[in-house]
């Protein structure tokens, strides 16, 4: 049974090449061995990479759309499709040759593939406090990635030597065989087992990289995090990821921000929210309080008669507004939510003072508010009369 190529990457069969590439990059970042050392994840990473190489090749993708399995076994090798009549696999070009009679001597092959392949992206996570997200930060990281081999400069050959044309495929990168079927002559093409489809062999591989063109190495890089970053944001460092096989172009390095919780504020975009508890006397009399913010100390004016759940705003004291272009466009606000605390325990003197205050304000007997604004006596008098 042919594998589900599109399902492996999580895309639809009509996905564009850009959508396929984005899906692969997302999975590669999650499954890359440098990020996820789990053995199952590494196996999944290899599968995803192989599937992406097929779907990114227009010819191989056509085979998939026709029901073939370019990665399947059988006579078709790595690039073939199983013959429903029991024969060996054959490619799309071979099908056309069989119908139009062109496959009689070696028809146009796909040619050798390049040794240079793009490198994988890498992902790092960086924990930042809210204060560091406010100002931005510069940090150094030590990463273990594949870098260009400095002995062969990515070529894979020992110094003073060079690659040679493969004698088995004569540089074509594939070998072909002709079979007869009811359609006529069918040409089967598969990657050359000697040069692995490159069309060239390395007679004297580099002793340092073994012919791969890259080696593992630890290196230190400096990451500059701009002001205003938030949890989950990623900073891209172009070409700082893995160097590809054969000295191919390096992938990108992504640094993902992990914002730590703050003791005072909760973040909502560029705005900060905090709760301030004040005594009922402060709410009644008013006061000027000193509020500690991320920038220092700010004056907060509480007006006399402030009610519970009042919200005060310190304009422009929040987080920087970081745009997609990397530019900071002003700052958000700090929203202070006031909670008025009513004492749960008071002594006899405090109780007497409160009674005197209640008497002065005529509050000995609270009244229920009415929709028409007219009072009907105190709460207890209404209950005694049974009014509803």
Q: Which range of residues forms the domain containing residue 55?
A: 1-71
pLDDT at 366: 59
pLDDT at 294: 95
6 shares its domain with 26? yes
pLDDT at 370: 57
CATH number at residue 13: 1.10.287.110
206 labelled binding-site residue:
yes
133 labelled binding-site residue:
no
- Grouping H, G, I as helix, E, B as strand and the rest as coil, residue 241 is coil
In the chain, % helix, strand, coil (3-state, to 5) comes to 25, 30, 45
d(CA 83, CA 63): 12
d(CA 72, CA 313): 64
pTM listed for this prediction: 0.60
| The last residue of a domain, from among 71, 91, 122 | 71
Q: What is the mean pLDDT of the chain?
A: 83
CATH number at residue 327: 2.60.260.20
- What are the b/e assignments for 39-58, b being 16+ CB within 10 Å? eeeeebbeebbebbbbbebe
| The last residue of a domain, from among 71, 86, 118 | 71
Between 326 and 215, where is the model more confident?
215
What is the 3-class SS of 51-105, one letter each residue? Answer: HHHHHCCHHHHHHHHCCCCCCCCCCCHHHCECCCCCCCCECHHHHHHHHHCCCCC
330 shares its domain with 312? yes
Q: Answer whether residue 285 is part of any domain.
A: yes
d(CA 27, CA 36): 11
Q: Answer whether residue 109 is part of any domain.
A: no
pLDDT at 100: 37
338 shares its domain with 362? no
Between 3 and 170, where is the model more confident?
170
152 labelled binding-site residue:
yes
d(CA 116, CA 50): 16
Q: Answer whether residue 76 is part of any domain.
A: no
Confidence of residue 108 (pLDDT cuts 50, 70, 90): very low
* Count: domains in the chain: 3
320 shares its domain with 277? yes
Q: For residue 79, which of 110, 87, 71, 187 has the smallest C-alpha distance?
A: 71
pLDDT at 381: 42
Is residue 302 a contact partner of residue 289, using CB atoms and an 8 Å limit?
yes
157 labelled binding-site residue:
no
Q: pLDDT tens-digit profile of 218-251?
A: 999 999 999 999 999 999 999 999 999 999 999 9
């Amino acid at each position: 049974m042919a594998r589900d190529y599109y399902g492996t990457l999580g895309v639809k069969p009509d996905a564009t090449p850009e959508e396929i590439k984005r899906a692969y990059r997302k999975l590669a970042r999650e499954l890359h061995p440098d990020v996820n050392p789990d053995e199952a994840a590494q196996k999944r990473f290899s599968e995803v990479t192989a599937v992406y190489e097929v779907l990114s090749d227009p010819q191989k993708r056509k085979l998939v759309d026709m029901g073939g399995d370019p990665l399947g076994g059988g006579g078709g090798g790595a690039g073939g499709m199983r013959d429903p009549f029991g024969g060996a696999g054959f490619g799309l070009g071979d099908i056309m040759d069989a119908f139009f009679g062109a496959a009689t001597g070696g028809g146009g092959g796909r040619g050798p593939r390049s040794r240079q392949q793009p490198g994988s992206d890498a992902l790092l996570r960086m924990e930042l406090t809210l204060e560091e997200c406010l100002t931005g930060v510069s940090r150094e990281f030590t990463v273990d990635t594949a870098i260009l081999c400095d002995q062969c400069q990515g070529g894979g050959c020992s110094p003073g030597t060079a690659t040679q044309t493969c004698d088995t495929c004569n540089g074509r990168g594939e070998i072909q065989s002709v079979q007869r079927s009811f359609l006529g002559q069918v040409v089967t093409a598969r990657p050359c087992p000697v040069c692995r489809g490159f069309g060239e062999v390395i007679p004297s591989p580099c002793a340092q990289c073994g012919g791969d063109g890259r080696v593992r190495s630890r290196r230190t890089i400096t990451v500059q995090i701009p002001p205003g970053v938030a949890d989950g944001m990623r900073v891209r460092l172009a070409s700082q990821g893995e160097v590809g096989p054969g000295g191919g172009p390096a992938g990108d390095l992504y640094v993902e921000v992990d914002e730590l919780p703050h003791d005072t504020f909760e973040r909502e975009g560029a705005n900060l929210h905090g709760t301030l508890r004040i005594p009922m006397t402060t709410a009644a009399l008013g006061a000027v309080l000193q509020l500690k913010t991320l920038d220092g100390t700010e004056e907060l004016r509480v007006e006399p008669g402030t009610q519970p759940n009042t919200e005060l705003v310190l304009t422009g004291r929040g987080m920087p507004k970081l745009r997609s272009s990397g530019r900071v466009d002003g700052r958000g606000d700090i929203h202070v939510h006031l909670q008025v605390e009513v004492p749960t325990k008071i002594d006899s003197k405090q109780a007497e003072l409160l009674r005197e205050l209640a008497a002065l304000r005529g509050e000995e007997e609270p009244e229920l508010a009415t929709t028409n604004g007219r009072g009907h006596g105190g709460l207890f008098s209404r209950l005694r009369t049974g009014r509803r």
